[in-house]
Chains A and B, each alone.
Chain A
Amino acid sequence: MEFFRFKRDIPFMSWGKYTTAISLVTFIAAVFFLVTKGLNLGVDFTGGTVMEVSYTQPADLNRIRGTLIKLGMADASVQNFGTSRDVLIRLPAKADMSSAKLSETVIAALHADDETAELRRVEFVGPQVGKELVENGALALLIVSLGIVAYLAMRFEWKFGVSGIIANLHDVVIILGFFAFFQWEFSLTVLAAILAILGYSVNESVVVFDRIRENFRKMRRASVAQVIDNAITRTMSRTIITHGSTQMVVVSMLLFGGESLHYFALALTIGILFGIYSSVLVASPLLMLLGVSRKDIVKPEKKPEPEAVP
């Protein structure tokens, strides 16, 4: 079986203007939603308490809200989680109620109201811990980015490093934009997914860059655009298949992984989709924009390597 039969190289680079425009628009839209709506930060980051309570019957959310209001927790949010029998209760962090006893009070009240109420999960995070996580998360993002740029600059050339990381941060910003637009909960595991995508998506750019480097050595008379077009075309089927397989696993996670992995898998899904796009249609035009040339790869002082003979 074979999916792709490209007679000629696809002129990706001549589409550069359009693809750059599209990326720019999505990027700006993502930034816009991030700024206007902001991320719906989970309890990991904001501090507060999250409780998952399960009932044997479909839960009556209004009654649960009533019980909580009686306890003086009017600002609690109550919603279904997964099934109609599972309820997620969020209690924001309060300065005057730092005690972790909170969850006990709540579950005792709910249990008194309905005996089948069973506590399945509690997460309480102090505001200070949340703040540190935000700092550590941002630091991790920075270190990963710098590490990748440094590695690419070392293995290839600085222009590759810069365009690679811009393309990848583009993916990250777009995932964040999705989370802001739909107000999906942004938790610690989602952050892990985003950092994994950063590694994964650069992986993608590297495969194309690798081909570009090889083509510069092989295709001596071709223009830079032709070199890049050929590299992308030739790696196209691999790109699609790889992403397809990873996507299959991630979809399997989305379907069978349960609620706990839902947003994690969702972040990966978006990341993979945009990873294909960005590595092909963002990284490479950027490379041209930065003015990559054969001289960057085939150093003039060195004799050009003879083509590898198998």
Chain B
Amino acid sequence: MNRYPAWKYLFIAVSILLGLLYTLPNFYGESPAVQISPLRNAAKADTGLLNRVEEALKKADLPTTGMFLEGGSIKVRFADTDTQIRARDALQSLLGNGYMVALNLLPNSPQWLTSIGALPMYLGLDLRGGVHFLLEVDMKGALSKALDRFSSDIRGSLREKKIPYAGLDKRGSLIIVKFRNAESRAQAEAEIKKNYPDLDLREENVSTEFHLAATLRPEAQKRIQDAAVQQNITTLRNRVNELGVAEPIIQQAGADRVVVQLPGVQDTAKAKDILGRTATLEVRMVDEEHDLSAALRGQIPFGSELYSERGGGPLLVKKQVVLTGDRINDAQPGFDNNNQPAVHLNLDNSGARIFQQLTRDNVGKRMAILLIEKNQAEVITAPVIREEIGGGRVQISGRMTSEEARDVALLLRAGALAAPMDIVEERTVGPSLGAENIESGFNSTLYGFAAIAVFMTIYYLVFGFISVLALGVNLLLLVGLLSILQATLTLPGMAAIALTLGMAIDANVLINERIRDELREGMAPQAAINAGYERAWATILDSNITTLIAGIALFAFGSGPIKGFAVVLCLGILTSMFSAVMVSRGFVNLVYGSRRKLERVSIGQVWKPVTNKR
């Protein structure tokens, strides 16, 4: 009656073994390491680079404890953090800007464990230290930028088709094109309809003027917003790479939010600075037709803006943007022919075409290159165009230091944000606090477990001991499962581990009490064990499913730490059901199942009332 077929024992043994195997990596700890990965596709992490790194470290007399090539990056282990930091500095200066050299922690688990995919749990920021940002994309800003682009494109095509118009205005989410007569409006409407399917057009007559109002179609709006979030994520990824952080997380969260997590980052001020920068480049023409001195007195001509040149005088610049930083493929600091610091730009195909046309049409005129950072525009340089520039290679020089040139290049390379972003949530955890959190989480689990173990063994004797074993298996399976899934363990997650331990014992108590009950009723021991497990099962199922409902809802509606808690809670319920019902039964069967004549079982005292009811 209380015997398991061999396959069930085998199944239990295999699951315990797997649990053990995948829990193991968590005990090896981590060692300081340096991670080297190429920033662009051109550079590759290969064995050649590995040799260069090895030689450089040997030359600098920095002993390593191992290095390997993995997933497109090189990882080098060190014995202590001191060597690690020195090695980072040495490697960064050797490899230059093309590579990201970041501090990292690598698990110490042996090769054979790693090769079967047994990795330690991934620790959340509250356990390892670091920063977490939640950024919100300003969707209004994204749409307004898109409308700006449309306005300048419409202007261009009307001019190209020689359709006369009396002006173009942007009002909120509307672009209003004014005409003198209905005829040219009809012409323009047909033209715009053909070329810009994303726009909805409406005719309006305001007193004697003929207006054409264009709005973005809803589906186009949605597409623009999605694209804005995607571009911002790409840009953030570039910027984070410049920070040199190992294993950063940059993910979309909801429709318009982006999560950025930088584990191990200490200098949060710098991180915030780099993330928040919205540097972009704009090429516009200098307005030379109007009077500068009049503008300085406050009469700024329509369609132009007043700026001051870096290190120079004021300048009237046309509002119309000819080229934006989106067209830049690469930007590198360097020097110009006069040995002045400069930024070398490489434009993409359509950027190169636009630039070539611009320089061809405007020889002898001045163009202005503006750097827009934190909503502040500054003219870096405003050179006179001497000749047509083809091939998409552009050099910006103008009174800057080599430091500034490097900064500008970095920002341009990292790309522009499609829309401004705000930090709506920030969490920083210092590394020492992270270590403390691990310790307190571990301790509360340990002491809680010990207390339960002592009590159960005293109260239920052999059955209590078996329950404790089952509980241990539960813990093993839970940690193993979390490691396999590579779920992120957070402090609330550790609390959930402790809590599920307390709750998991419920199933064992239900079973043991039920067996006592059956014994009390006068059932034979073997039959009592069987009935105890059978009858407790329905109750265990019901009570666990209700908790599971709560866990799933927590997962669905929670965010961050709550999600971590919910994952552990749900998994814990599943493993505890398995271990309490199947594993503990397996142990009981091993101990008692084979005995044909079982007089009594060790489950603590079973007290029988003198007057039996019924």
Contacts and interface: CB of A to CB of B under 8 A. Distances in A.
Contact of A241 (B503, B509, B561, B614): B509
B546 A310 contact: no
A91 interface: no
Interface stretch (B78-86, B92-100, B320-328, B493-501): B493-501
B447 A256 contact: yes
Given A120-B432, A144-B549, A202-B546, A195 B423 contact: no
Contacts of B430: 118-121
Interface stretch (B288-296, B381-389, B605-613): B605-613
Contacts of A155: 542
Contact of A238 (B441, B510, B556): B510
B2 to A, nearest CB: 12
Interface string B588-614: 000000000000000011110111001
B546 A152 contact: yes
Contacts of A123: 426-428
B114 interface: no
B531 interface: yes
Interface residues of A, number: 78
- The contact size tier of chain B is 35 or more
A183 interface: no
B569 interface: yes
B391 interface: no
A82 to B, nearest CB: 10
A251 B551 CA distance: 22
A148 B459 contact: no
Interface stretch (A28-36, A59-67, A129-137, A292-300): A129-137
Nearest to B510: A238
A219 B240 CA distance: 70
B163 to A, nearest CB: 44
A2 interface: yes
A129 B149 CA distance: 31
Given A1-B604, A260-B440, A122 B523 contact: no
Interface stretch (B30-38, B200-208, B448-456): B448-456
B517 interface: yes
A126 interface: yes
A289 interface: no
Contacts of B426: 100, 103, 122-124
Contacts of A258: 436-437, 440
Contacts of A116: none
A199 interface: yes
Contact of B499 (A6, A122, A268): A268
Q: Is the interface of B mostly helix, strand, loop or mixed?
A: helix
Interface string A172-200: 00000000000000001101100110111
A101 interface: yes
A247 B499 CA distance: 9
Of B432, B437, B444, B607, the most chain A CB neighbours within 10 A belong to B444
Contact of A151 (B444, B517, B523, B546): B546
B557 A143 contact: yes
Of B133, B423, B546, the most chain A CB neighbours within 10 A belong to B546
B447 A252 contact: yes
Contacts of A74: none
Interface string B95-107: 0000000000000
Contacts of B544: 203
A210 B534 contact: no
A203 B506 contact: yes
Interface in B495-537: 495-496, 498-499, 501-503, 505-506, 509-510, 513, 517-518, 523, 527, 530-531, 534-535
Contact of A189 (B498, B556, B561): B561
A159 B269 CA distance: 58
Contacts of A137: 557
A74 to B, nearest CB: 23
A257 interface: yes
Interface string A138-164: 011001100110011001000000000
B340 interface: no
A76 interface: no
Contacts of A125: 424-425
Given A7-B609, A203-B544, A252-B448, A144 B459 contact: no
Given A155-B542, A256-B443, A248 B452 contact: yes
26 contacts: A2-B606, A101-B272, A121-B427, A121-B430, A140-B554, A143-B556, A144-B553, A189-B492, A192-B561, A196-B499, A196-B565, A199-B546, A199-B548, A199-B551, A219-B614, A237-B513, A242-B505, A249-B445, A252-B443, A252-B498, A257-B440, A258-B440, A260-B437, A260-B440, A308-B535, A310-B523
Interface of A: 1-2, 5-7, 52, 98-101, 103-104, 118-126, 128-129, 133, 136-137, 139-140, 143-144, 147-148, 151-152, 155, 188-189, 191-192, 195-196, 198-200, 202-204, 206-207, 210, 219, 234-235, 237-238, 241-242, 244-253, 255-258, 260-261, 264-265, 268, 308, 310
Given A191-B562, A210-B538, A310-B518, 5 more contacts: A125-B425, A126-B136, A207-B539, A245-B509, A247-B502
* Top-4 shortest CB links A-B: A199-B550, A249-B448, A246-B502, A249-B502
